[in-house]
Amino acid sequence: MLTVSNYHYIRPSYNANYPSIFGVTPDAFKNQIQLLKTIGDIITPLDVLNDIETILESKNNYILITFDDGLKEQYNYALPILDELDASAIFFANSSNTKEEKVSTVHKIHLLRSLIDSTSIFNRINEHSHIVLTSSEKKTAQSIYSYDSKLSAELKYLLNYKLDFKLQEELITTLFNDYFEESEVLQSLYMNKEELKDLAQKGYLGSHTHNHYPLGLINKEAITFELNESKSYFEALTECPIKMVAYPYGTKEAVTKEVSNMAKQVGYKLGFTTNKGSNTISNDYLVLNRFDCNDLIGGKNSK
């Protein structure tokens, strides 16, 4: 059996005008890794790649640690803790951040929401688009973004699943540039090329696609580009094979059967969603489940 614990932000504090960036502190991360080691064996990404069938068939509880988004704080804070505790992880990064020197729209949204209230962002969007969420969509939003307030969850759902991507990027980028300098954010937020190379040499680097789009909501040509571009770029940059992908957002809407099939065609061996649950031999290798770290022992929601 394989249990996957997923993380994003890891920083000493989360002080902001508005709660929008959620993560763990280094101390909480260290504590959780220690607790996870009491309930299973934390294995390396290479172990999973090379022996996935045996791991899924086993009655033993094997644990894989994953990080999404290729954030510098993961390298600075999480990696030393993993080394100290003789543990490892796979870090899934987006290639557009280094290849095109772009801040991902999803992170522009996170940063803006830490400074501006959700109502103000809603109003800005409504100046250009009048999309209204149904009651079912609002319920889905609260399910996906369970750590956010009702209004914030609906805003994130609107941005990530309903708004045209080009319009979304235009609106968010215009607003983002009023408050932030993109080059400064790039340097402070994301791992640089040398850090990515270091992870790849350890066998710790995976793909989070190129632009961090929900793949199931874009056309086939764009899906292929997102999956292939990041794989090709990271392999050229690091001279190491990239065989694992974590799908951005990771929900059923974002990871359709077409998406997982195309990931396999591009050359990925393993793919990870955000669907909660452990993995057994019955799981598709390209649609593996992951728990949010908060839902496992030592997390905010653990019982």
- 171 and 215 both lie in a single domain: no
Query: Helices 105-115 & 165-177, crossing angle to 10 degrees?
Result: 50
- 32 and 81 both lie in a single domain: yes
Query: Which of 178, 206, 228 is at the close of a domain?
Result: 178
- Name every residue whose Cβ is closer than 8 Å to that of residue 219 and which is 6 or more positions away in sequence: none
pLDDT digits (tens, 9 = 90+) for 28-87: 999 999 999 999 999 999 999 999 999 999 999 999 999 999 999 999 999 999 999 999
- 174 and 195 both lie in a single domain: no
Question: What does the pLDDT read at residue 240?
Answer: 98
> By the 8 A CB rule, do 90 and 244 touch?
yes
**CATH number of 13's domain:** 3.20.20.370
Q: Which amino acid is at 203?
A: G
Q: Radius of gyration of the chain from Cα atoms? A: 18
Could you give phi then psi for residue 237, rounded to 5 degrees? -65, -45
pLDDT class for 302, splitting at 50, 70, 90? Answer: low
Q: What is the average per-residue pLDDT within 101-106?
A: 95
Q: What percent of the chain has pLDDT over 90?
A: 74
Task: Name the more confident of 72 and 164.
Answer: 72
Q: Does residue 171 surpass a pLDDT of 90?
A: no
- 164 and 219 both lie in a single domain: no
* Lowest mean pLDDT segment, chosen from 23-37, 88-102, 167-181, 223-237: 167-181
Three-state secondary structure along 159-183? HHHHCCHHHHHHHHHHHHHCCCCHH
Question: What's the mean pLDDT when you consider all of the chain?
Answer: 93
Q: Does residue 303 surpass a pLDDT of 70?
A: no
- 164 and 208 both lie in a single domain: no
Structure tokens at 234: 């990271």
Q: How far apart are CA 23 and CA 67, in angstroms?
A: 11
Q: How far apart are CA 141 and CA 150, in angstroms?
A: 8
Q: How many domains does the chain have?
A: 2
Q: What is the average per-residue pLDDT within 283-295?
A: 96
Taking the CB of residue 290, how many other CB atoms lie within 10 A of it? 24
- 21 and 96 both lie in a single domain: yes
Q: Is residue 301 part of a domain?
A: no
Q: Is residue 282 part of a domain?
A: yes
Domain enclosing residue 289, as ranges: 2-102+190-295
- 93 and 211 both lie in a single domain: yes
87 closest CA partner among 104, 117, 66, 116: 66
- 291 and 249 both lie in a single domain: yes
Could you give phi then psi for residue 209, rounded to 5 degrees? 75, -175
- 98 and 199 both lie in a single domain: yes
- 141 and 70 both lie in a single domain: no
Question: What does the pLDDT read at residue 72?
Answer: 98
- 121 and 72 both lie in a single domain: no
Q: Is residue 183 part of a domain?
A: no
Task: Name the more confident of 151 and 73.
Answer: 73
- 205 and 84 both lie in a single domain: yes
